[in-house]
Structure 1
Amino acid sequence: MTTVSSAPQTVEFSGVQGLTLIADEWNRGADAAADRPTVLMLHGGGQNRHSWKNTGQILADEGFHVVALDSRGHGDSDRAPDADYDVDTMTADVMQVLDAIDRQVMLIGASMGGLTGILAADQAGPDRITGLVLVDVVPRFEKNGSARIRDFMFSGLHGFGSLDEAADAVAAYLPYRKKPRSPEGLKKNLRLRDGRWYWHWDPAFMTKPGDDPELRTEKFEHAAAGLTIPVLLIRGKLSDVVSPEGVQHFLETVPNAEFVELSGAGHTAAGDDNDAFSDVVVAFATR
């Protein structure tokens, strides 16, 4: 039976290199069902923990202990002083958060968070990670779609003159998503400095030197192929980042993976159609 939980608390975790990571946490301690894993939610690049607000609350109302984490350099978490945003470092952060949670965990990761989740699930093993939900991400993602994300993120590096200007940029990037009547909701993702609105993540995340994409893909594929836990891949049908071919290859590589496609969603599936997304995630988590 569903029980309504309280609003989330803002909490701190320690990442590697002494960084402080901020998270929203629902059902801490006795409020969580003992027979269900903690759900740890990892957002995509350029996003933050608020991307999961609605789904986190729904899972909490189902009795789950839920943690939605701001990755290093994103949201209210510390920025890496040496611009170390390598996926291995982000995975090491997640491993420390898993140690602090100290119970079995189901991971939900979108885009960058999903790739981090693959590596963390592989490193932590099935005794600690009981399930993995990947939100519009596979190791063999489409380079054109990825480049469009980077172009959108680069376009906002110098800030916006108003919230409406930022909302127009989002609407141009996500033309299939209904534009909100008010841009006020963007305040969770922007900060006002010197009269301009800037995305709430470290610009060095975009300008740091990159690694070899082929080696990175190989690393993710190797980690995913070794997973024995239940895996759910959710694709937004309108996505230009994950192709049907990429899905097919992933399902052939990870035989225990399930696949769901959301017809009204793109790469940012949780925000594009949150009701459908949450229904799929709750069904997987409670099973």
Structure 2
Amino acid sequence: MTDADPRIRTQRFAGAGLSLCGDVGGDASAQPVILLHGGGQTRHSWRRAMVELITRGFYVISLDARGHGDSDWAADADYTFASLAADLEAVIATLPRPPVLVGASMGGATALYLIGNRQQVVARALVMVDVVPRLEAEGSRKIRQFMEANPQGFATVEEAADAVAAYYPTRKRPRDPSGLMKNLRRRDDGRLYWHWDPRFIASVRRAEPPEMARHMVDACRGVHVPTLLVRGLESDIVGQAGVDEFRALLPQLQVADVSGAGHMVAGDRNDAFNRSVLDFLHALPPDVAAAR
């Protein structure tokens, strides 16, 4: 499939006081799945996973978080988990039944925060992609450094590709870097900048250990839905101690380890990622499992 897949359309959603952009596809009467990207990414990071989920009969929404991609930037620079979760809750309210939430890094933390801080049922199940309540400090620091680098932007898309390759040297560099343009925008000065609000960085700093751990541990007490953690075995963000603690906090937690994948699991090993998620979804009770 390509970006021109006729089953997928782009639409706007009302968030908590701002407008969100999302890609939508599949039968609206099927089990909904909402895909939530990581910090500094956009909805396009889920493209191959989205196509696979639609093909398997799910109704899929892939959202740009506030301040990212084609969603609005927060006028007050509020990118806290509480606001990200409120945006997500507003989208969920448009659906006829609770969705499965699939979130990578920031997206997973947002989903966990929402589920754990609401009395009502807001999700059928939860998939956390390489994120646990207590992250590895060194890996978190590297992400922040990458996001803070190059505030002057890039002269070419090749320069942006160089920055990504330096941050993630284990990932094979694409021959054609033009796909990165989905994550870049050319401003009036003619240079290319990552397509997210630079004020978001302040939230990234606040989300580093130990504050994120406090929010996530507190939220876990209210999470009772089936939950899957998909972990990249080469990740420098999620360590074994973090996984063990997550298991202790969520007795229902299942873990799928993906070899040959780092923090960007769906991008590094998309086929293995898709299998792990689909196996989990298809094992949900028959009355809520989507069409296969």
TM-score, normalised with respect to structure 1: 0.92
Q: Which residue of 2 aligns with 1:281?
A: 277
Given that 2:227 and 2:252 are in contact with CA atoms closer than 8 Å, whether structure 1 keeps it comes out as yes
Q: Check if 1:226 corresponds to 2:222.
A: yes
Q: Which residue of 2 aligns with 1:21?
A: 20
Aligned mate of 2:200, from 202, 205, 214: 205
Whole-angstrom CA distance in 2 between matches of 1:211 and 1:127? 26
Could you tell me which amino acid in structure 2 is paired with residue 201 of structure 1? W
Report which of the two has the higher share of helix.
1
Per-residue deviation, 1:281: 1.0
Instruction: Point out 4+ residue stretches in structure 1 off by more than 3 angstroms.
Output: 123-128, 207-216
Given that 2:67 and 2:200 are in contact with CA atoms closer than 8 Å, whether structure 1 keeps it comes out as yes
Aligned mate of 2:128, from 127, 130, 134: 134
Whole-angstrom CA distance in 2 between matches of 1:189 and 1:125? 36
Q: Which residue of 2 aligns with 1:245?
A: 241
1:39-79 CA deviation, whole Å, 9 max, x = no partner? 01111000010011110110011110000000000000000
Whole-angstrom CA distance in 1 between matches of 2:263 and 2:108? 12
Per-residue deviation, 1:127: 3.8
Single out whichever of 6-15 and 82-91 deviates more from structure 2.
Answer: 6-15
Whole-angstrom CA distance in 2 between matches of 1:180 and 1:131? 34
Q: Which residue of 2 aligns with 1:104?
A: 98
Given that 1:132 and 1:232 are in contact with CA atoms closer than 8 Å, whether structure 2 keeps it comes out as yes
Q: Check if 1:147 corresponds to 2:141.
A: yes
Given that 1:156 and 1:199 are in contact with CA atoms closer than 8 Å, whether structure 2 keeps it comes out as no
Per-residue deviation, 1:223: 1.4
3-state DSSP of counterpart to 1:172? helix
Whole-angstrom CA distance in 2 between matches of 1:199 and 1:215? 26
Q: 1:224 to 1:207 in 2, by over 3 A?
A: closer
3-state DSSP of counterpart to 1:198? strand
Q: 1:126 to 1:63 in 2, by over 3 A?
A: farther
Q: Which residue of 2 aligns with 1:11?
A: 11
Q: 1:271 to 1:202 in 2, by over 3 A?
A: same
Given that 1:131 and 1:229 are in contact with CA atoms closer than 8 Å, whether structure 2 keeps it comes out as yes
Whole-angstrom CA distance in 1 between matches of 2:116 and 2:102? 14
Once superposed, what is the RMSD of the aligned Cα atoms? Answer: 1.7
Q: Which residue of 1 aligns with 2:86?
A: 92
Per-residue deviation, 1:278: 1.1
Given that 2:206 and 2:212 are in contact with CA atoms closer than 8 Å, whether structure 1 keeps it comes out as no
Q: Which residue of 2 aligns with 1:174?
A: 168
Could you tell me which amino acid in structure 2 is paired with residue 251 of structure 1? R
Q: Gapped runs of 5+ residues in structure 1?
A: none
Given that 1:95 and 1:124 are in contact with CA atoms closer than 8 Å, whether structure 2 keeps it comes out as no
Whole-angstrom CA distance in 2 between matches of 1:117 and 1:252? 19
Per-residue deviation, 1:21: 0.3
1:129-171 CA deviation, whole Å, 9 max, x = no partner? 1110000000101111111001011113221111111111111
Q: 1:85 to 1:53 in 2, by over 3 A?
A: same
Per-residue deviation, 1:7: 2.8
Aligned mate of 1:62, from 39, 56, 61: 56
Whole-angstrom CA distance in 2 between matches of 1:113 and 1:277? 16
Whole-angstrom CA distance in 2 between matches of 1:126 and 1:277? 29
3-state DSSP of counterpart to 1:121? helix
TM-score, normalised with respect to structure 2: 0.90
Per-residue deviation, 1:128: 3.5
Whole-angstrom CA distance in 1 between matches of 2:44 and 2:99? 20
Q: Which residue of 2 aligns with 1:266?
A: 262
1:177-221 CA deviation, whole Å, 9 max, x = no partner? 111001011011111222211101001101468379534422211
Per-residue deviation, 1:99: 0.6
Percent of aligned pairs with the same residue?
45
Whole-angstrom CA distance in 2 between matches of 1:214 and 1:124? 23
Per-residue deviation, 1:225: 3.3
Whole-angstrom CA distance in 2 between matches of 1:216 and 1:155? 22
